[in-house]
Amino acid sequence: MNDIEIAQQAKMDKITEVAAKIGLDSSQIEQYGDYKAKIKLPVGSQKTKGKLILVTAINPTPAGEGKSTVTVGLGDAFSLLQKKVIIALREPSLGPVMGMKGGATGGGYSQVVPMEDINLHFTGDMHALTTANNTLAALIDNHIYQGNQLHLDQRRVQWKRVLDINDRALRHVVIGIGGVTQGIPREDGFDITVASELMAILCLAKNLADLKRRIGQIVIGYTAEKKPVTVAQLGVTGAISLLLKDALKPNLVQTLAHTPAIVHGGPFANIAHGCNSVLATRTGLELADYTLTEAGFGADLGAEKFLDIKAPVLGKTPDTIVIVATVRALKMHGGRAKSELKTEDLTALRAGYANLQKHVANMKRYGIPVVVAINRFTSDTTAELQQLQELCAQDKTAAVVADVWAKGGAGALELARKVVELSAEEHTFKPLYKADAGIKEKIEQIVTQIYGGTEVVYSPKALRQLKSFAEFGWDRLPVCMAKTQYSLSDNPKALGAPKDFAIHVREFVPKLGAGFIVALTGNVLTMPGLPKVPAANGMDLSDDGTVSGLY
Amino acid sequence: MNDIEIAQQAKMDKITEVAAKIGLDSSQIEQYGDYKAKIKLPVGSQKTKGKLILVTAINPTPAGEGKSTVTVGLGDAFSLLQKKVIIALREPSLGPVMGMKGGATGGGYSQVVPMEDINLHFTGDMHALTTANNTLAALIDNHIYQGNQLHLDQRRVQWKRVLDINDRALRHVVIGIGGVTQGIPREDGFDITVASELMAILCLAKNLADLKRRIGQIVIGYTAEKKPVTVAQLGVTGAISLLLKDALKPNLVQTLAHTPAIVHGGPFANIAHGCNSVLATRTGLELADYTLTEAGFGADLGAEKFLDIKAPVLGKTPDTIVIVATVRALKMHGGRAKSELKTEDLTALRAGYANLQKHVANMKRYGIPVVVAINRFTSDTTAELQQLQELCAQDKTAAVVADVWAKGGAGALELARKVVELSAEEHTFKPLYKADAGIKEKIEQIVTQIYGGTEVVYSPKALRQLKSFAEFGWDRLPVCMAKTQYSLSDNPKALGAPKDFAIHVREFVPKLGAGFIVALTGNVLTMPGLPKVPAANGMDLSDDGTVSGLY
């Protein structure tokens, strides 16, 4: 059976029963059908009590590392151990679902369900973000058209439109053409919704008041004199906020084994900050003894941003970090092609281990206990699994094999016990940089300590921007790196653990509502494209409503 | 109190109780929070038994005619008379909510609730449509980019992108610029979602199979040899259909007086076919003795399309037509300015009556019993109300004053009794045109018999298109007129009942999935713009989530 068939055969608990498991009665949730709900705000005691487990991974390869699958399987293992656990994942984006990557609900017997709903429209959060984003864009262009009282320079509008779709044809567009009554012509572009500042804001806001405050602070563009103009100045903070009031509420679903899962917020980790919402994670910490959460792509992106951007807002750092790796993916990092992965190859594995090794060292650097979860595939040989564990042991890194796709929680019991043990350890969090360090210093720390690079090369434009940021008082904000997910460097082809490389910052995008500055490196795109044969072409809907071809 | 304050003070019944009133148990609905639900398909007996009441109106003026308010008040009056009734309305579009027109949930003590939810994201139907529409657009541009096996001519792509936003700057755009890897440059444009063919399809589909069939038939563009290319040929019928599988389910809410209301589907009547979904109306007809439904704008648009486009698919014509008029609006049709409407003016009222008179005659022409609902405003004088009733009496038209804004259902009891009486009358439906008549003949019937015009002037482009439609076998399809709502003619300034005018058809848009040909007349826009001070600027959200400024 494939993932969707397994998911469709699941016998789910009613969402009211799932809510009851974490102490929420039916008046504290809003049902969306029988198996999905939004959790009303504020939740519970407002006091965080539980342990926080962050699941991250090596750099992804086409072989797949199964981070979500391990997170879900690990959560179910906690349930089997009678621990009160909540899984906190990100929401899938429809762009990759229709394109190539597929959904984001785990796989095999470690999935969150209802899989189809979560991967399609779910409770509408993405759509609310798209709508709020584009309503703001329309209000901006209308402001310019209707007299432009704020003196926005149409060449300096920074606020882009978005869609939750992979659509390369919208990356660069010219709008407002067609004559006098059709708006003011200007260059514009669309990003994917998950890359939007509103998504970051949704994921970082502590409550509705904080959401509104952040939205008011968004810089939509600049005047001809290069002065920033904000949403608050445009006078539409209220309208944009109310479009997001329901999206801010965390979504409750369940795993195949009925473990409660909060799936909320979904920024990509390459072009955005890559973590699910602060409110979702906080809800977990308030209601459960263990909250398992995942950050996007490899630990160089998602985990770094979790620790440096999200944790300060959350007011809590992880008690254990789980780094997911597979023998297959490490062999690719060691130089093998995707077609060669079924053959045992201890040399390639040893070479590729460098990638895992670097991520482990990075996470240990923050002072947090680390365990490697080796996500088992059927093609892994005993010798390979053994060698990988030995390599970890040589580095004094705990490493446990998990078999979650086939066995669900039962395949991750040992991993769960290890995580419980590590989470009880005393440890002291060591931040990567001081909160008040300058932008260049922060980037240098990330590049040298996390990526393993030697220097940062700024484009002339980026350097000019840094000057103006100093003027505006934005020069001490956290930095959100936009970088390829495939490599520790900004070159997607440099697998393993590249050395002696420079990171190229070509442009900054200040996101004052999110509260950070995005640094665009390499050629990373904020709007993906579709492949030659999109996943959409394999999808179908039967006359009775059964979905197929979703994965 | 204003509308939103009245709505916020409402004590709603749980949606399960509302469902129970029309014989649906909790397993037959999907709850969206406590007060909204989707009705699972298929519903009930699949046999229509109830009476169908169509509520329509005179041409709208800035004075407002209150068609939705009358529909809701009339529904509550049926409830007071102990009749089993369902109200079937359209869903509001966020574009006008943020722009100028406001929401579409009625007003005063005749509203459907939860007002804010319905006017904002509701159950996500609009967003599903936007997403499905733009996913198809991305798949089309990707197909061209990836080798264009279907030989689509990029200058002849007919499928436009959409947003549920008023955004004039997106009416005409150039996409795909930026270089070799950014797509293929071409001219494109965005419509508002409610004008999309998918909205029409959602509103006309009888079930999932019919939805899929229609989606497969959509013509997305033409080859260089001018041969049509369909969604089925692109191979993504399944993917687009599954994005709409939930949106196809009718939404259940209630009035302030707890009358069941189905709010589903929302095409505008000027640029689309203007009726709520066939499934919603059918559900009403199956579950209730009386279904009250509304068609958009004046009877020249919404009602004509209801009778000529929707009714044949529904398999049922109305048993009574209610035409809503106000003294204020008729005085505007009689030549007064909006600022002068508080003064009694029997002369202007008499002159403006010509507009109502024409719509009444048009509806009687279909052979259906008609009653005029005079929607009372506080500024109406007794002499004005009396004169209006006398004018109707002279034309042998039933006319009843309703006072629904202030009194809810109690203000429409006499109207409800009249509707019950008329609905019991024997009558024979007389279609406006034969189903197999040609496009030109159909348009001529609409223009001369409904609009009161003398001739139809086709642009050279429209004439060329008619030729090719004949080749493709599309020349017997129903016609959906796109025309200004403000006038019976295609000139929005010609109020009252203009005579001796021509209708100018500048272009056709074939919508093979919807099953009709759209005729664009005059300067009607398929993407509205925002006004100088958008409604958005008056909206706010308090820290506890209370919305204000929505109307």
List the single best residue of A242, A243, A524 to mutate versus B (max B Cβ within 10 A). Answer: A242
Q: How confident is the model at residue A45 (pLDDT cuts 50, 70, 90)?
A: low
A215 in contact with chain B, both atoms CB, cutoff 8 A: no
B239 is known to lie in a ligand binding site: no
Whether the bond between A114 and the residue before it is cis, its omega within 30 degrees of 0, is yes
Q: In chain A, whose CA is at the least distance from the CA of B185?
A: A169
Sequence-distant (6+) residues with CB within 8 A of A197 are A218, A511, A513, A514
Mean pLDDT of B407-412: 98
Tokens of A344: 């045992």
List the single best residue of A148, A149, A220, A541 to mutate versus B (max B Cβ within 10 A). Answer: A541
pLDDT higher than threshold 90 for residue A63: no
Query: What value does the mean pLDDT of chain A take?
Result: 96
Tell me what percent of the residues of chain B surpass a pLDDT of 70.
99
Q: What is the pLDDT of residue A101?
A: 67
* Helix axis angle, A67-80 to A413-423, nearest 10°: 80
Q: Dihedrals φ, ψ of A476, to 5°?
A: -120, 10
Q: How confident is the model at residue B82 (pLDDT cuts 50, 70, 90)?
A: very high
Distance CA A511, CA A231 (A): 12
Mean pLDDT of A458-486: 96
Sequence-distant (6+) residues with CB within 8 A of B463 are none
Mean pLDDT of A491-520: 96
Domain at B3-124+247-423: CATH architecture: 3-Layer(aba) Sandwich (3.40)
Q: How confident is the model at residue B403 (pLDDT cuts 50, 70, 90)?
A: very high
* Helix axis angle, B413-423 to B67-80, nearest 10°: 80
pLDDT higher than threshold 70 for residue A125: yes
Q: What is the pLDDT of residue B358?
A: 98
Of B172, B530, B547, the CB nearest to A242: B547
**Torsion angle, CA of A456/A459/A463/A464, rounded to 10 degrees?**
-170
Question: Would you say the C-alpha torsion A349, A350, A355, A356 has a positive or negative sign?
Answer: positive
B67 is known to lie in a ligand binding site: yes
Q: In chain A, whose CA is at the least distance from the CA of B525?
A: A182
CA B199 to chain centre: 10
Catalytic, A101? Answer yes
Tokens of A324: 């997911």
Residue ranges per structural domain of chain A: 3-124+247-423, 125-242, 439-521
Q: How confident is the model at residue B101 (pLDDT cuts 50, 70, 90)?
A: low
Q: What is the pLDDT of residue B45?
A: 64
User: CB B163 to CB A532 under 8 A?
Assistant: no
Distance CA B243, CA A119 (A): 10
Mean pLDDT of B218-243: 97
Q: What is the DSSP string of A265-330?
A: ----TTTS--B--HHHHHHHHHH-SEEEEEBSSSIIIIIHHIIIIIHHHHT---SEEEEEE-HHHH
Closest CA to A404 of A6, A18, A131, A61: A6
pLDDT higher than threshold 90 for residue B100: no
Closest CA to B245 of B198, B311, B284: B198
| pLDDT tens digits, A416-431 | 999 999 999 999 999 9
Distance CA B283, CA B44 (A): 8
pLDDT higher than threshold 70 for residue A44: no
Catalytic, A269? Answer yes
Mean pLDDT of A60-77: 93
Of B31, B207, B240, the CB nearest to A33: B31
Q: How confident is the model at residue B44 (pLDDT cuts 50, 70, 90)?
A: low
| pLDDT tens digits, A350-392 | 999 999 999 999 999 999 999 999 999 999 999 999 999 999 9
Is residue A293 exposed (0-12), middle (13-18) or buried (19+ Cβ within 10 Å)? buried
Q: In chain B, whose CA is at the least distance from the CA of A33?
A: B30
Distance CA B174, CA B177 (A): 7
| pLDDT tens digits, A188-241 | 999 999 999 999 999 999 999 999 999 999 999 999 999 999 999 999 999 999
| pLDDT tens digits, A277-305 | 999 999 999 999 999 999 999 999 999 99
Per the CB < 8 A criterion, the answer to whether A122 and A94 are in contact is no
User: CB A182 to CB B173 under 8 A?
Assistant: no
Q: In chain A, whose CA is at the least distance from the CA of B209?
A: A543
Q: Which amino acid is at A363?
A: M
User: CB B134 to CB A530 under 8 A?
Assistant: no
Mean pLDDT of A507-536: 95
Choices 2.40.10.170, 3.10.410.10, 3.40.50.720, 3.90.550.10: CATH for A439-521:
3.10.410.10
pLDDT higher than threshold 90 for residue B35: yes
Q: Which residue carries 């609310």 as its tokens?
A: A128
Per the CB < 8 A criterion, the answer to whether A66 and A31 are in contact is no
Give A237→chain B minimum CA distance, Å. Answer: 7
Q: What is the pLDDT of residue A551?
A: 79
Closest CA to B229 of B147, B138, B133, B140: B140
Residues of chain A contacting residue B34, judged by C-beta atoms under 8 Å apart:
30-31
CA B395 to chain centre: 28
Tokens of A366: 């923050």
CATH number of A125-242: 3.30.1510.10
User: CB B94 to CB A530 under 8 A?
Assistant: no
Mean pLDDT of A66-84: 97
Sequence-distant (6+) residues with CB within 8 A of A179 are none
Half-sphere exposure of A303 (CA within 13 A, CB side): 30
Mean pLDDT of A440-467: 97
User: CB B141 to CB A168 under 8 A?
Assistant: yes
pLDDT higher than threshold 80 for residue A124: yes
